[in-house]
Structure 1
């Protein structure tokens, strides 16, 4: 049989083919019973044992440290998931459309909808009754109408994925008990409890600050109108805080797992333990993927609102500066731009750091292992660990729509700049057209005045 033409592949392709071949070879050995008591029979994950609900509750440090944010979301009606009572055989976190939390969410949503619709109707009526409907005024009204959109899309963007969010919470609960059984030590989340409490207050504090600044800086923004926006901005801030907390927790779990991995690699024949650590790492990677899947609609809407609002607010500010010069109104619009871009930066930057801590750091650590100084089973397990990292990248993906990382920031900025240039060109065209109309009218007036003067002199 002829040998394959390896020279036709580049080094990365050859490495991929070799990894895939070794993986299939090991699976084939297991299926054919060729393990002979070797640790290679641990390459396939053993069947999970049923966990005791009391143990799950006792060691669910992530839930206890982040409970305040979950309760805040329940009060706001944003994500009506519930924690099962102690001793219950139900999953520790559940989502049901007939639960008390959902009934409360439905009630508070109706009340907020009445307020939002009243304010929106008042703003629309005021604009329609304005005699001079300039293009800049249309843009200005669109800015504040766009911020109201997340409220109306909340049932589709957030409630619809409630079961996926509950699944994500339960994955965290089960992971912590499994981690304790494998390593003998619990996962510790330092400073996460006070940080979560602080972010609950910061979410509402920033919301109130942003809207009061608009009331003070925008000449036609009434104080009554601010009440339609408080809960919306608080919801956006809360989701940003939730993302920050989860990314921080992933970093803490990854750091603890890496420390135990280092100790294990220094021990004698650590192949069996490495297999269990590989399983823990795969679970951690799957949780990161589930985070993006669970909140895909909400954060997808999040990015769209930020993208649209930032473009319109930036254009509105520059347009007013071109017309009338810098005033407090433009400063208020720049506050909105800074606020939106800060939210986008936090989400993308934290996702970038979490992915690096869970993925890249483990790859670097495993690649630095001296394979000539370990036994054959450990060498195979290190290879399997690297293959697992390659096959299960710890990326936060919004259910296939977009990856959340730093690249998303640059992509959004480039798109924003493109659309902003187009809008500003349109604005300059309007300014030139207005200047031309003024010049033509001035010339007509001069001609008419000259004709009148000539007629009067003749008479």
Structure 2
């Protein structure tokens, strides 16, 4: 074929043969044969080879723009861009020691024990363990010397329980290889989506792009969690008004641990949001594609994409199964102790320290709810919503091959699970939140009955207990 460009008159494109159409590419800086080289100062300079650009659409039809109409920059790692703000924050906290390795023309995530990221994570973890050992010893001394009502001992134990999220860091190290694997699976899904639909995967939540949403979360959530920890520890300090150096030193590790817990929950939240939006986009594209043409090959391509998406949905749970099993149990324990400490004060009236217990209970209940609710929505969008889209397809005008592919697609959605399961322990959905709530009520009833059965204490025991705990806090 011959192809000429005239910068004065515009763009002229001759007929393209079948072999060149398959390549989906054109040369955009072709010169005439008489202009192959130029002379400067008696020295010949060869012109650079022509540039090759990828066609913007599958039909090789140019849009309205001239030269830019034939080129398109393919954006990579769209899904990772949604997770990147929270990922970088957790990486700074020593949680995600992953590295990007170039594998041919592509880059993939890998976990390497002998890497700078892992060395950094080890340094952070060792420093925190030494620091928290001091706080843990102080809390043990307080628990050993607490005298008085049973609920006061429960509240004292709550501060020890709040140190448990430090184990999230080594658990995430153990699961870092699986996290790298699912990030690479998302990259593969983006490539399959682009090859099938001819467009990039664009994810937005009510007009707000998920990367922007993740960035806002990564800024506001640490600020709010730190503020809640400081306020909680300040008002529970037996109504002491002075913020001493010891108090500040003991609060710092709690700020780190609470922020870590909430940011891991935020990573789960954004991951489930990406699953939900990807499933809705895929369902809408499939429904629009069937309005125009209905070849069997096209239906098979969308079925392959859905199978890949359902696989990523299942892997979302198994990738971090130990981490979120631990977090769910931890949240259940903290909520139970906080609500019990709050309810046990009803007979004596609410005080300043009850504000701290209320904040702790509210924050942890919210986190547990979002973990369960977003996983439920993701599974619902990937399977149920997609099945409804397939059932609404009109089959009468399609050929027999396309109808067979549609039926196979529907059967594939029935046979392949798209739920988020934590490694076989339990499914993460709204039913989990309901069952944990019912179990929590049972434990609260038992604790309150135990409190009622305890004989009333001496009149001066409360003041003695307050002075005792105040002494060890300082």
1:402 and 2:418 matched: no
For residue 69 of structure 1, give the secondary structure of its aligned residue in structure 2.
Answer: helix
Within 5 Å, give how 1:404-443 maps onto structure 2.
404-430=428-454, 433-434=455-456
Structure that is richer in helix per residue: 1
User: CA deviation digits over 1:214-272, x for unaligned, max 9?
Assistant: 13311248333211211111111111111111112112212221122012212333211
Equivalent of residue 61 in structure 1, options 50, 56, 78: 78
Deviation at 1:89, TM superposition (A): 6.7
Equivalent of residue 226 in structure 2, options 205, 208, 219: 208
Task: Give me the whole-angstrom Cα distance separating, in 2, the residues matched to 1:394 and 1:230.
Answer: 36
1:172 and 2:186 matched: yes
Task: Give me the whole-angstrom Cα distance separating, in 2, the residues matched to 1:299 and 1:273.
Answer: 38
Match of 1:138 in 2: 153
Task: Give me the whole-angstrom Cα distance separating, in 2, the residues matched to 1:90 and 1:189.
Answer: 22
CA-atom RMSD in angstroms:
2.1
Query: Which stretches of structure 1, 4 residues or longer, exceed 4 Å deviation after superposition?
Result: 55-58, 87-91
Equivalent of residue 147 in structure 1, options 136, 149, 162: 162
Deviation at 1:202, TM superposition (A): 2.2
Classify 1:336/1:56 alpha carbon distance in 2 versus 1 (closer, same or farther; 3 Å): farther
- Contact 2:375 2:428 (C-alpha < 8 Å) held by counterparts: yes
Worse-superposed segment, 214-223 or 391-400:
214-223
Task: Give me the whole-angstrom Cα distance separating, in 2, the residues matched to 1:57 and 1:271.
Answer: 27
- Contact 2:97 2:117 (C-alpha < 8 Å) held by counterparts: yes
Match of 2:304 in 1: 279
Classify 1:57/1:337 alpha carbon distance in 2 versus 1 (closer, same or farther; 3 Å): farther
Match of 2:110 in 1: 94
Worse-superposed segment, 419-428 or 193-202:
193-202
Task: Give me the whole-angstrom Cα distance separating, in 2, the residues matched to 1:88 and 1:224.
Answer: 49
Task: Give me the whole-angstrom Cα distance separating, in 2, the residues matched to 1:247 and 1:265.
Answer: 27
Task: Give me the whole-angstrom Cα distance separating, in 1, the residues matched to 2:260 and 2:104.
Answer: 31
User: CA deviation digits over 1:368-404, x for unaligned, max 9?
Assistant: 2233332211111111111111111211110111111
Match of 2:330 in 1: 305
Match of 2:97 in 1: 80
Classify 1:57/1:428 alpha carbon distance in 2 versus 1 (closer, same or farther; 3 Å): farther
TM-score between the two structures when normalised by the length of structure 1: 0.78
For residue 373 of structure 1, give the secondary structure of its aligned residue in structure 2.
Answer: coil
1:346 and 2:364 matched: no
Equivalent of residue 218 in structure 1, options 232, 236, 242: 236
Equivalent of residue 256 in structure 2, options 224, 228, 231: 231
1:106 and 2:122 matched: yes
- Contact 2:97 2:173 (C-alpha < 8 Å) held by counterparts: yes
For residue 344 of structure 2, give the secondary structure of its aligned residue in structure 1.
Answer: helix
User: CA deviation digits over 1:247-298, x for unaligned, max 9?
Assistant: 1211221222112201221233321101000000010010011111111111
Task: Give me the whole-angstrom Cα distance separating, in 2, the residues matched to 1:271 and 1:89.
Answer: 32
Task: Give me the whole-angstrom Cα distance separating, in 2, the residues matched to 1:346 and 1:151.
Answer: 21
Task: Give me the whole-angstrom Cα distance separating, in 1, the residues matched to 2:89 and 2:99.
Answer: 12
Classify 1:82/1:203 alpha carbon distance in 2 versus 1 (closer, same or farther; 3 Å): farther
- Contact 1:56 1:173 (C-alpha < 8 Å) held by counterparts: no
Structure 2 residue runs without a partner (length 5+): 1-71, 241-246, 460-474
- Contact 1:84 1:93 (C-alpha < 8 Å) held by counterparts: yes
Structure that is richer in strand per residue: 2
Deviation at 1:159, TM superposition (A): 1.0
Task: Give me the whole-angstrom Cα distance separating, in 2, the residues matched to 1:338 and 1:64.
Answer: 30
Classify 1:180/1:90 alpha carbon distance in 2 versus 1 (closer, same or farther; 3 Å): closer
- Contact 2:317 2:423 (C-alpha < 8 Å) held by counterparts: yes
- Contact 1:60 1:177 (C-alpha < 8 Å) held by counterparts: no
Match of 1:195 in 2: 213
Deviation at 1:213, TM superposition (A): 1.2
User: CA deviation digits over 1:32-85, x for unaligned, max 9?
Assistant: xxxxxxxxxxxxxxxxxxxxxxx9994221123432222111110012112225
Worse-superposed segment, 167-176 or 63-72:
63-72
TM-score between the two structures when normalised by the length of structure 2: 0.76
Task: Give me the whole-angstrom Cα distance separating, in 1, the residues matched to 2:237 and 2:267.
Answer: 34
- Contact 1:56 1:174 (C-alpha < 8 Å) held by counterparts: no
Structure 1 residue runs without a partner (length 5+): 1-54, 439-459
Match of 2:346 in 1: 321
Task: Give me the whole-angstrom Cα distance separating, in 2, the residues matched to 1:129 and 1:240.
Answer: 35
For residue 92 of structure 1, give the secondary structure of its aligned residue in structure 2.
Answer: strand
Task: Give me the whole-angstrom Cα distance separating, in 1, the residues matched to 2:304 and 2:391.
Answer: 18
